[in-house]
Amino acid sequence: MDSIFKDVLDACRGLAAYGMGTGIGGQISIRVPGEELMVSHAFDKTFEEMHEADIFAVDFQGNPVGTNKPVSIGIEFHHGIYRQRPDVHAIVHSHGFWATSQAALARPLRIFANVTTPFFGKTCISPNDDFASIGPALGTDDIAIIIPWHGVITIGNSIAEAVAYHTTFDYGARQDLTLPAGTPTMPEDQISEIATMVNGTGYYKHTWDLVRRTGQECYNGTRVFPRLIP
């Protein structure tokens, strides 16, 4: 269980280093195997400010366990997803600029790069951020959920996947929002083949390792200072 607490903290700091944790809001959670529990974090701090004491267990009713620290009311959709999708073991939702801006388009990413191909056909649109909305929209193999005018949720069978999907979605959102409307997207007959290739390279595990060490490098002992990302 200690490793789960550390992974949540590393995820908070890593996403903060990537500029996705500058404001209050968003949640990261990891399912505790075999129990109706997850490990998440306090609501009253940014990802940049998280410390060990801000990471704690939350039951599937959304109540913090063993602490008086506040938990986000938005945590409700986490346990809903865990109950509906037993294959999901980690969930990431941030209010990063690019992903949140992409959500305003209320549509999946246009595919311009090999690393974003796994999102094709595996991204759903939910009309709201409560599980009553997300549950019916969420497919059996979806890895991303777009909430229009709110943000993006990524889910995975590990924290490595959920975090790596999140930073990769953010990368794809920057492409989608900055490339001209007429820019050719990847042909659909190539997407499936390339997605299989990307998933087989260990890209997402290596991306999680990168995000984690970047968070450690940007943490000064008190808080994370985001790095400049081109």
Q: Which two tokens stand for residue 16?
A: 């903060």
**DSSP assignment letter at 117:** G
In the predicted model, residues of the chain with pLDDT beneath 70 are: 1, 229-230
Instruction: Taking each helix axis as running N to C, give the angle between helix 2-17 and helix 203-218, from 0 to 180 degrees, rounded to the nearest 10.
Output: 80
**So what's the pLDDT on residue 1?**
67
Domain ranges, ordered by start, for the chain: 2-218
**Strand pairing report for 27-31 and 37-41:** antiparallel
Q: Which of 44, 58, 163, 187 is nearest to 112 (CA)?
A: 187
**How many degrees, rounded to 5, is the angle at CA 5 between CA 4 and CA 6?**
90
203-216 pLDDT, tens digit each: 989 999 999 999 99
pTM exceeding the 0.85 threshold for the entire prediction: yes
Fold of 2-218: L-fuculose-1-phosphate Aldolase (3.40.225)
Sign of the dihedral defined by the CA atoms of residues 19, 223, 163, 34, in that order? negative
